[in-house]
Amino acid sequence: MPSEFVDPDELRAEFCSALSKMYRSEVPLYGDLVELVDEINDRADEQESWQISDRLKVERHGAIRLGLPSELHTISRLFRLMGMYPVGYYDLSGCGVPVHATAFRPTTRSSLSKNPFRVFTSLLRPELIPDAKLRDQVLSILSKRDIFHPTTRALISQAETRGGLTRPETNLLVQHALETFKWHEEALVPAETYARMRAVHPLLADIAGFRGPHINHLTPRVLDIDAAQAGMPARGICPKAIIEGPPRRLCPILLRQTSFQALTEHIRFPGGGSEGSHRARFGEIESRGCALTKKGNLICLHPSNPLHSVPLVANQHVGHDLYLSLMAESQRTAPPNESNAAHQTLLHQIFTHRFPDTWTSLRQEGLAFFRYTLITPPQPLSNNTTLDELIDSGNIQAEPIVYEDFLPASAAGIFRSNLGQEQSEHVQKNIEAEEESTRKQFEIALGRPVEDFCDLYQAMESDSLQAVERTLGYRLR
Ligand code: OOG
Ligand code: NI
């Protein structure tokens, strides 16, 4: 890339920082969460090195909800300029949320280490709204709005033709792209239309009721989420009842999340006079562990059938499946409305003897992904020393690979708790056989296939091992 163009990693970092600044001014409680997280992270000195890095200070994920495939297409082009690509396909319809989604994020180790900004981006599936009249109305409203500033559109096309953006163009893009993510106090539709949409599903009102897909949360990453959950009330922040995801572990896995409930915000309807309130924007904190192995795609956990076909025993390449099966077991056992403490105790009991909790066993049983680095070649070099022996002797370091993605069951839980509606009977369910075709439609809108995150972790692990093998001069597998 010619040097006159700004690096996509730099553009992403600048955009993430500008968005964070904007959201802090829109939702001051987000600023309080960031302060709490920074305080905990500064104290977390006994953490292992794979968790602590420069990226932690700037690490955020956000979420937006889009209405039309054409909006997804343009967002995909915009994020691409920032070095963010669609990874993972999340179908949330089985959980009563009429959307499917992906996460735009950087995919290489070097880009992730500079700034791992990700955006969980969902797209409405109007075909799951059985009220045909309302569906047509929603589509007509959506087709008349443009969520992108003309300058954003022009700069995207220009960058694609010329291969990048100059410094002044980059500044202009950051400024105008922010417009798409900002909050509008004035709704796009009259009060009656808003009320009709909300009665069928609050998500409809949130997506089609406004001029743009306001960012609905920005999430900093914390090293000790139990401390964050406990520290929220002292700052006047009321956390959700339960930390989503796996229990606390010596070797943290996947993703744990907690949040505060969406704020009730004042809105105005066009034409003046009538006013109302809307709940969409909330605060969330996440804690990331290591990526677990799994072949195939993630499926959404249906609340009444959480198990699907997940196997119950640990064998090669099923770390993620083993996680899902243990979580399903906890759902079957858990009494409703339990406290976080009771929930965590139950998870702890279920996981303790069934999910290995040392890096060695996670690695040897093929449950998690690792990055291998040659610290120093063994002396004398013999080509029958095994990988395990070289790790034991300290010649090779095996470092867990951070899970950079999302968990559909946790995401659906977050959607539901913030939309203030348990499960909408108005929403049709996707049947499993349809998933392939809905995914295809989603990818057509994106203009590219979504990447499989397991493949990305696998490639990172294999590349690191290959580099070690090249230096040693023999194969370790
Ligand atoms: C997205 C919810 C998903 C997460 O952290 O799992 C999400 C939304 O509410 O739009 O952000
Ligand atoms: Ni989130």
Give the 3-state secondary structure of residue 62.
Answer: strand
Q: Which ipTM was obtained for this model?
A: 0.99
Could you tell me if 258 and 244 are in contact, meaning their C-beta atoms sit under 8 angstroms apart? Answer: yes
If you measure from the C-alpha of residue 161 to the centroid of ligand 2, how many angstroms do you get, rounded to a whole number? 33
Q: Judge if the beta carbon of residue 60 lies within 6 A of ligand 1.
A: no
If you measure from the C-alpha of residue 287 to the centroid of ligand 1, how many angstroms do you get, rounded to a whole number? 14
If you measure from the C-alpha of residue 362 to the centroid of ligand 2, how many angstroms do you get, rounded to a whole number? 27
Q: Judge if the beta carbon of residue 20 lies within 6 A of ligand 1.
A: no
If you measure from the C-alpha of residue 242 to the centroid of ligand 1, how many angstroms do you get, rounded to a whole number? 16
State the closest ligand 1 atom to the C-alpha of 419, by its place in the atom list counted from 1: 9
State the closest ligand 1 atom to the C-alpha of 407, by its place in the atom list counted from 1: 6
Q: From residue 363, give the alpha-carbon distance in Å to each of 156, 183, 293.
A: 43, 45, 10
In 10 A of CB 132, how many CB atoms? 9
Residues by chain with Cβ below 5 Å of ion ligand 2: 219, 284
Could you tell me if 125 and 427 are in contact, meaning their C-beta atoms sit under 8 angstroms apart? Answer: no
If you measure from the C-alpha of residue 207 to the centroid of ligand 2, how many angstroms do you get, rounded to a whole number? 17
Ligand number nearest CA of 408 is: 1
Q: Please choose, from the candidates 34, 8, 38, the residue with its C-alpha nearest in 3D space to the C-alpha of residue 21.
A: 34
Task: Please report the pLDDT score of residue 422 as a whole number.
Answer: 47
Q: Please choose, from the candidates 300, 141, 250, 254, the residue with its C-alpha nearest in 3D space to the C-alpha of residue 205.
A: 141
φ, ψ for residue 321 (rounded to 5)?
Answer: -65, -40
If you measure from the C-alpha of residue 282 to the centroid of ligand 2, how many angstroms do you get, rounded to a whole number? 9
The CATH number of 8-290+404-446, from 3.50.50.60, 2.40.30.160, 3.30.565.10, 3.10.180.80, is 3.10.180.80
State the closest ligand 1 atom to the C-alpha of 410, by its place in the atom list counted from 1: 6
Q: Judge if the beta carbon of residue 90 lies within 6 A of ligand 1.
A: no
245-259 pLDDT tens trace: 999 999 999 999 998
289-340 pLDDT tens trace: 999 998 433 333 333 333 333 333 333 458 998 999 999 998 888 776 678 8
Q: Please choose, from the candidates 115, 112, 109, 111, the residue with its C-alpha nearest in 3D space to the C-alpha of residue 59.
A: 115
- Locate tokens 């009842």: which residue? 241
- Decide: residue 201, CB within 10 A, 0-12 exposed, 13-18 middle, 19+ buried: buried
Output the residue whose Cα is nearest ligand 1's atom 11: 63
If you measure from the C-alpha of residue 446 to the centroid of ligand 2, how many angstroms do you get, rounded to a whole number? 21
Q: Judge if the beta carbon of residue 406 lies within 6 A of ligand 1.
A: yes
Could you tell me if 87 and 73 are in contact, meaning their C-beta atoms sit under 8 angstroms apart? Answer: no
Ligand number nearest CA of 405 is: 1
Q: Judge if the beta carbon of residue 410 lies within 6 A of ligand 1.
A: yes
Q: Judge if the beta carbon of residue 415 lies within 6 A of ligand 1.
A: yes
Can you give the residue ranges of every domain in the chain?
Answer: 8-290+404-446, 299-366, 369-401+452-477
Q: Judge if the beta carbon of residue 411 lies within 6 A of ligand 1.
A: yes
Task: Please report the pLDDT score of residue 300 as a whole number.
Answer: 32
Torsion angle of the four alpha carbons 64, 67, 73, 74, in this order, in degrees rounded to the nearest 10: -70
Q: Judge if the beta carbon of residue 201 lies within 6 A of ligand 1.
A: no
User: Which of 222, 415, 416 is the pocket-test mutation for ligand 1 (most atoms within 8 Å of CB)?
Assistant: 415
If you measure from the C-alpha of residue 415 to the centroid of ligand 1, how many angstroms do you get, rounded to a whole number? 6
DSSP 350-389: HHHTTS--SHHHHHHTT-B-EEEEESS--SS--TT--HHH
If you measure from the C-alpha of residue 60 to the centroid of ligand 1, how many angstroms do you get, rounded to a whole number? 12
State the closest ligand 1 atom to the C-alpha of 216, by its place in the atom list counted from 1: 10
Block mean pLDDT (10 aa), the chain, length 477: 86 97 94 93 77 86 98 98 97 87 97 96 93 95 98 98 97 98 96 94 95 96 94 88 92 94 91 88 94 59 37 54 91 78 92 94 94 91 88 96 93 77 55 76 95 95 96 89
Task: Please report the pLDDT score of residue 308 as a whole number.
Answer: 38
Q: Judge if the beta carbon of residue 63 lies within 6 A of ligand 1.
A: yes
Give the 3-state secondary structure of residue 296.
Answer: coil
Q: Judge if the beta carbon of residue 121 lies within 6 A of ligand 1.
A: no
Output the residue whose Cα is nearest ligand 1's atom 2: 411
Q: Judge if the beta carbon of residue 258 lies within 6 A of ligand 1.
A: no
Q: Judge if the beta carbon of residue 255 lies within 6 A of ligand 1.
A: no
Give the per-residue SS3 of the chain. CCCCCCCHHHHHHHHHHHHHHHHHHHCHHHHHHHHHHHHHHHHCCCCCCCCCCHHHHCCEEEEEEECCHHHHHHHHHHHHHCCCEEEEEEECHHHCCCEEEEEEECCCHHHHHHCCCEEEEEEECHHHCCCHHHHHHHHHHHHHCCCCCHHHHHHHHHHHHHCCCCHHHHHHHHHHHHHHHCCCCECCCCHHHHHHHHHHCHHHHHHHCCCCCCCCCEEEECCCHHHHHHHCHHHCCCECCCCECCCCCCCCECEEEEEECCCEEEEECCCCCCEEEEECCCEEEEEECECECCCCCCCCCECCECCCCCCCCCCCCCHHHHHHHHHHHHHHHCCCCCCHHHHHHHHHHHHHCCCCCCHHHHHHCCCECEEEEECCCCCCCCCCCCHHHHHHCCCEEEEECECCCCCHHHHHHHHHHHHCCCCCCCCCCCCHHHHHHHHHHHHHHHCCCCECHHHHHHHHHHHHHHHHHHHHCCCCC
